[in-house]
Amino acid sequence: MNDTSTETDTLEQLLARTGMGDRAAFARLYQQTAPRLFGLCVRLLRERSEAEDVLQEAFVSVWRRANRYNPALGGANTWLTAVVRNRAIDRLRQRREATNTNALEFERLADTSQGPDARAMASADYLRLERCLEQLDPKYSRSVRAAFFTGATYKELAERGEVPLATLKSWIRRALLQLRTCLET
């Protein structure tokens, strides 16, 4: 497809070219983002082999759906993270259904390895996100962390927190708006 790619291609450009079937752009996209996204998978799933499977499934999905990426709705990094996170959450839900146990709590996930997940956690993006999460009202921060990092449904979170479902959804919506503002500055 496009043999004139440069080292300065942005993720958005690589994703757009991937959407047009450019295998070289897809390979570069993978090369640039896989370590961080793998760290996210390991952090969520806590099993390296399962994280590898989920990352592979997510990139197959990226290859198939890259043409649907709309930069007006958010950055490529955000879109890729959402694809991977959603795959990991689906896997957590499957695991939970299979074992009929409660979802993992985000605060209890310990990162003890020095692999790609540890490097990803040290990244500037992660540190910025953590700083922004710390600025939120504690109930908002807990709600966002639980909703996005444990795979629990809003209904499950509302029941656990003993709050009405509409209230929990409102907290998460407000928190996401505040996070967006914080991350854009």
Architecture of the structural domain at 123-185? Orthogonal Bundle (1.10)
Q: What per-residue confidence (pLDDT) applies to 53?
A: 93
Neighbours of 26 (CB within 10 A): 20
Q: What is the pLDDT of residue 129?
A: 78
Residue-wise pLDDT tens digits, 97-128 = 665 544 445 545 555 555 565 565 556 677 77
Rounded CA gap, 35 and 32, in Å?
7
| Backbone angles phi and psi of 85, in degrees to 5 | -60, -40
Is residue 132 within 8 A of residue 183, CB to CB? The reply is yes
Dihedral class, residue 72 (left if φ above 0, else alpha if ψ from -120 to 50, else beta): alpha
| Residues near 89 by beta carbon (within 8 Å), at least 6 away in sequence | 44, 151
pLDDT score of 121 = 54
Per CATH, the number for 1-115 is 1.10.1740.10
Nearest CA to 150 among 83, 88, 73, 98? 88
Instruction: Give the CB-side neighbour count of residue 86, counting CA atoms within 13 A.
Output: 10
What's the confidence (pLDDT) of residue 114? 52
* pLDDT (0 to 100) of residue 146: 82
Domain boundaries, the chain: 1-115, 123-185
Rg (CA), the chain: 17
CA 129 – CA 19 distance, rounded (Å) = 28
Please list the ranges in the chain whose pLDDT falls under 70: 1-9, 97-124
